[in-house]
């Protein structure tokens, strides 16, 4: 991880954990977009965005690459009562599709995403199948 990336994370109050294979930084949800924009300004490049249902909250996971051989994740948490986050599509245009996928499968709304519609399920769907609370209907065969 470059010194510039470390400085950006520190400036946004991110908690850095380098105990695993790839470094992880947790940032407050209200600093999510600003931190990502500043990381982009240091040269960090978008790799992926996804989510993890932790039960009481949905964790957003942004994977970035800062050198040709180093990647790290920026994470934030959205409590179940407020599944909203600022869109990163204006910072990293490819994030638009990943945010739509997270919306469709987990129910997180990305404010500012130019096309916050379902990407995998029909528009009429009311379910978010990767949520822990989602239960399949039992069918008798």
CATH number of the domain enclosing 41: 3.30.460.80
Rounded Cα gap, residues 130 and 72, in angstroms = 24
CA 67 to each of CA 46, 62, 63, 71, 135: distance values in angstroms, whole numbers, following the listed order: 12, 16, 13, 7, 41
Domain enclosing residue 31, as ranges:
3-81
Per-residue pLDDT of the chain (141 residues; tens, 9 = 90+): 889 999 999 999 999 999 988 899 999 999 999 999 999 999 999 999 999 999 999 999 999 998 888 899 999 999 999 999 999 999 999 999 999 999 999 999 999 999 999 999 888 888 888 887 876 677 777
> Is 88 a member of any domain?
no
> Is 120 a member of any domain?
no
> Is 104 a member of any domain?
no
> Is 24 a member of any domain?
yes
Rounded Cα gap, residues 138 and 26, in angstroms = 38
Give how many domains the chain has, as a whole number. Answer: 1
Which helix (H) or strand (E) covers residue 10, if one does? helix 3-11
Closest alpha carbon to 49 in 104, 88, 107, 13: 88
Query: Do β-strands 84-86 and 109-111 pair in parallel, antiparallel, or remain unpaired?
Result: parallel
On whether the CB atoms of residues 66 and 92 are closer than 8 A, the answer is no
Contacts for 123 with CB less than 8 Å, ≥ 6 apart: 117
Contacts for 83 with CB less than 8 Å, ≥ 6 apart: 58, 106, 107, 108, 109
> Is 118 a member of any domain?
no
> Is 51 a member of any domain?
yes
Rounded Cα gap, residues 20 and 131, in angstroms = 26
Predicted pLDDT of residue 129: 81
> Is 17 a member of any domain?
yes
> Is 77 a member of any domain?
yes
How many percent of the chain have pLDDT more than 90? 75
């Amino acid at each position: 991880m470059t010194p510039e990336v470390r400085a950006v994370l520190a400036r946004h109050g991110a908690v850095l954990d380098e105990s695993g294979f790839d470094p992880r930084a947790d940032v407050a949800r209200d600093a999510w977009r600003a931190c990502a924009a500043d990381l982009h300004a240091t040269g960090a490049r978008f790799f992926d965005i996804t989510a993890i249902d932790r039960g009481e909250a949905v964790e957003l996971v942004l994977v970035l690459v800062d050198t040709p051989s180093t990647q790290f994740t920026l994470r934030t948490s959205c409590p179940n009562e407020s599944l909203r986050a600022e869109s990163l599509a204006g910072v990293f245009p490819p994030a638009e599709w990943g945010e739509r996928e997270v919306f469709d499968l987990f129910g997180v709304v990305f404010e500012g995403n130019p096309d916050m519609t379902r990407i995998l399920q029909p528009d009429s769907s009311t379910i978010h199948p990767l949520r822990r609370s989602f239960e399949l209907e039992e069918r008798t065969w």
